[in-house]
C-alpha cells in the first residue's frame, strides 16, 4: 500500500478533536449510532460498544464533518488505524 501523509499540527488536531467531542453529543450522532451496526464489519453492537471513526483520518488531513465520520465497533476502529478508505478496503480484502 502506497501511503501518503499530510503533515498536520497539534493545533489542527486539537481543534478537530474538540469538534468530534461536540458531534458525539449531538442528536444526529446518537440517531446514527442507534442502528447498532458497525459500518465496516456489519455486525451488531450495543450503542456503548460503538465508536466514531474519521473515514479520512485527522492525521491525514481529514475533518470532523458529518460526511467524514462513521459508526464502527472498537475492533474495526483499532484495526483501521490511519488507513484511507481505499487502503482499508485493500486490507479487508487481503483478510479474506
Give the CATH number for residue 65.
Answer: 1.10.30.50
Per-residue pLDDT at 1 exceeds 50: no
**5 within some domain:** no
CB crowding 43-77: b at 16 or more within 10 Å, else e: eebeeeebbbbbbbbbbbebebeeeebbbbbeebb
Per-residue pLDDT at 5 exceeds 80: no
> Domain tally for the chain?
1
What pLDDT digit, counting tens, does each position of 21-37 carry? 999 999 999 999 999 99
**Mean per-residue pLDDT over the chain, rounded:** 89
DSSP letter at 61 equals T
**4 within some domain:** no
* CB-CB contact of 62 with 55 (8 Å): yes
* CB-CB contact of 50 with 43 (8 Å): no
Amino acid at each position: 500500500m502506497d501511503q501518503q501523509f499530510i503533515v498536520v499540527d497539534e493545533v489542527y488536531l486539537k481543534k478537530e478533536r474538540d469538534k468530534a467531542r461536540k458531534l458525539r453529543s449531538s442528536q444526529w450522532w446518537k440517531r446514527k449510532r442507534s442502528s447498532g451496526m458497525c459500518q465496516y464489519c456489519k455486525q451488531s453492537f450495543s450503542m456503548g460498544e460503538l465508536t466514531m471513526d474519521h473515514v479520512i483520518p485527522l492525521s491525514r488531513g481529514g475533518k470532523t464533518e458529518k460526511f467524514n465520520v462513521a459508526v464502527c465497533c472498537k475492533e474495526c476502529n483499532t484495526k483501521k488505524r490511519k488507513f484511507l478508505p481505499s487502503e482499508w478496503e485493500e486490507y479487508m480484502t487481503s483478510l479474506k
